[in-house]
Amino acid sequence: MRIGVLNGPNLNLLGTREPSIYGRETLADIQRSLSSVASELGADLEFAQHNGEGEMIDVLHGWRGKIDGAIINAGAYTHSSLALRDALTSIAVPFVEVHLTNIYAREPERRHSMLAPAAVGMVCGLGAYGYELALRGLTRRLAAGV
């Protein structure tokens, strides 16, 4: 099975951006770890990271018909982007939303997700390990045909 992993704005700065909030692992560290888990699960991953909403939408459109599911950390676009939710639903694959922090324990403007109503699941607050949990859950769901 093929899984797209899309990361949004400022996630390219992981490891150095507010490490007390987001941790010290870099996006490259997360991708290496996730690739190892994917090998164990028999999944192929395609990674993308963009700071712009339109670029993220273009990636999703490009994955249409090429992936079986997706994992997305939309960063701040989580809280504001109907366009990303529409792009995710338009490619018609199940997706899991991931956040390093618990968005529901943060500032009021971060406590709502525009993507969650369309997601099959969400993992938040568990740091980089949340990506692994998202991948394991998504691949299990896909294998079960749910």
50 a catalytic residue: no
Q: Are 79 and 113 in contact, with CB atoms under 8 Å apart? A: yes
Q: Please state the φ and ψ torsions of residue 97, each to the nearest 5 degrees.
A: -90, 135
- Positive or negative, the Cα torsion across 64, 41, 8, 125? positive
104 a catalytic residue: no
Residue with tokens 């109503």: 117
* Residue of 61, 99, 104, 112 marked catalytic: 99
Report the catalytic residues. 22, 99
